[in-house]
Amino acid sequence: MNDLVDVRAGVYRDSVSLMRVSQSLAARPGVAVAVVAMATELNVGLARDLGFDVPAATPGDLLVAVRASSEAELAEALAELERQLAAREPAGGSGTREAAPRTTRSAARGWDADVVLVSVPGEHAFAEAMDAVEAGLSVMVFSDNVPVEQEILLKDRALEKGVLVMGPDCGTAVVGGAGLGFANVLRPGPVGVVAASGTGAQQVTSLLDLAGVGVSHLLGVGGRDLSAAVGGRSAVQALRALDADPATELIVLVSKPPAPEVARAVQALDLGTPVVAALLGPGEDDLTAAAEKTLRALGRDVPEWPSWPAGGGREPGGGPLRGLYSGGTLCTEAALIAGTGEFTDYGDDEYTRGRAHPMIDPALRLEALAGVREGVALLDVVLGHGADPDPAARLAPAVEEARARGVAVVVALIGTEGDPQGLRGQAERLGAAGAAVFTSNAAAARHARSLATG
């Protein structure tokens, strides 16, 4: 084997782009391992664990570590690396390009902006988000691992400034038709959404879209907003904003299990616009039922939600149920419905520290699926902008291998017909590989439960 390790000082690319460069190089003939990443402590440790001799580096350096069978294959991989890095060079390249703004506030002064998206490591997110709030801009904090005390400070200051903080850990939003974060392609329509849950909001709005109903705005508020600590600070602001929006005829409030006293207080707001609650918890509606209730409130028919049977003959039955999820609210919903089994949310902070979210990089979940030796595996696949551009490419072979071991695989496919991955194409490929595919996570969980119980 031939190894190359290169540390390039001061060369920055975003982690998602670098992950896709790594995947592209690793798929080349003769390439055994490829690590192209910023030289954080985690990534340097990963490269060293793989046997690479990595010199001293800082998190602001670019780390390249490639192992190939021959010198020729290594040289070809490096040529491809340079081509891909050049393609990802920021517009204008180096040289005469104007200096970029050094702070969020200085950038806001030069641009006609209404919303700032903050997506930096959690320990740095507070400063950037507060800079946006002080500049009089609403902010979506995509970053996770932000202390709750900082979230409260941000939201209190935002209220004083008359702006909205969406997040931290806000995975999706749609403002005036523009998707932020992980965003499905949604038709415009009369439903406004306030969501303390990214994937929960994606499930509800995707089902509405499949039924022909669009959204006015989807305002994420962060997964902790309806907790006792945060007290619904952003949810109250977002509900009032949508209530004042003439394009919004009905509001859906979506959350993973909230603090009961906060849920009661938020639902008791005096609003002129009707609100449908999609608040997960024992005895509460699941997300599909909430979407159906929304359709009925609008006088629309409830369709039969699309699903695709598992190919490969009769599905295996009996055995333990494993839930391998990328969406926390979808994971919670499935666990509530199944009532049994082991469920893991790979989008939780403990799994995303220093690595891409599993909706982008499926590596951890594929590893977990490979470890399921019996019973039933239940997974979510979330489509839309920002997510894996072709999840079936890597998941379908893993499904085939699982079926060959006698494991039944059930997939909740969350998306719309307009999503760039192609909803039906993804479903058909996963179904052909042996997975039972449902556009309703609740239906997928019930099917998985029935298989597990034989």
Q: pLDDT of the chain along its 454 residues, tens only?
A: 899 999 999 887 877 788 888 888 988 999 998 999 888 887 888 889 889 999 999 888 999 999 999 999 999 999 999 998 888 665 544 444 466 677 777 777 667 778 999 988 788 899 999 999 999 999 999 888 899 999 999 999 999 999 999 999 898 999 988 999 899 999 999 999 999 999 999 999 999 999 999 999 999 999 999 999 999 999 999 999 999 999 999 999 999 999 999 999 999 999 999 999 999 999 999 999 999 999 999 999 999 999 999 998 889 989 999 999 999 999 999 999 999 999 999 988 788 776 778 898 888 999 999 999 999 999 999 999 989 999 999 999 999 999 999 999 999 999 999 999 999 999 999 999 999 999 999 999 999 999 999 8
pLDDT of residue 312: 86
The Cα 380–Cα 444 span in angstroms is 9
User: CB-based contacts of 44: which residues, under 8 Å, 6+ apart?
Assistant: 54, 57, 63
Name the CATH topology of 2-87.
Answer: Alpha-Beta Plaits (3.30.70)
Question: What CA–CA distance (Å, rounded) separates 220 from 209?
Answer: 18
Q: What pLDDT, on a 0 to 100 scale, did the predictor assign at position 98?
A: 60
* Alpha-carbon distance values, 121 to 142, 145, 406 (Å): 10, 8, 40
In a 13 Å sphere around the CA of 366, the CA atoms on its Cβ side amount to 16
The per-residue pLDDT for 170 is 92
Contacts of 202 (CB under 8 A, 6+ apart): 172, 182, 184, 327, 382, 384, 414, 415
- Angle among Cα 87, 92, 93 to the nearest 5 degrees reads 60
Contact partners, residue 178, CB within 8 Å, separation at least 6: none
Look at the block and give the residue holding tokens 């703004």: 101
Give per-residue burial for 434-453: e unless 16+ CB within 10 Å, then b. Answer: bbbbbbbbbbbbbbbbebbe
423 Cβ contact partners less than 8 Å away, ≥ 6 residues apart: 383, 413, 415, 416, 417, 439
Q: Which two tokens stand for residue 218?
A: 């989807």
Sequence-ordered strand ranges (E) for 248-361:
250-255, 275-279, 307-308, 321-325, 342-345
- Give the whole-angstrom CA distance, residue 425 versus residue 427: 5
For residue 396, give the H/E element and its range: helix 391-404
Per-residue tokens: 207: 């089902």
For the CA atoms of 67, 69, 71, 77, the dihedral, rounded to the nearest 10 degrees, stands at -50
> 36-71 burial, b for 16+ CB within 10 Å, e for fewer?
bbbbbeebbebbeeeebebeebeeebbbbbbbbeee
Q: To which CATH superfamily is domain 307-452 assigned?
A: Succinyl-CoA synthetase domains (3.40.50.261)
Measured CA to CA, the distance from residue 288 to residue 303 in angstroms comes to: 11
- Name the pTM for this structure: 0.85
pLDDT at 285: 95
Rounded to whole angstroms, how far apart are CA atoms 359 and 382? Answer: 7
Is CATH 3.40.50.261 what the domain over 104-297 is classified as, yes or no? yes
Domain ranges of the chain: 2-87, 104-297, 307-452
CA dihedral over 183, 389, 22, 351, signed as positive or negative: positive
Judge whether 104-297 and 307-452 match in fold. Answer: yes
* DSSP β-ladder status, 321-325 and 376-382: parallel
Q: Helices marked H in 192-232 — which ranges?
A: 198-210
Nearest one of 375, 433, 192, 386 to 298, comparing CA atoms: 192
Tell me, what's the pLDDT at 307?
98
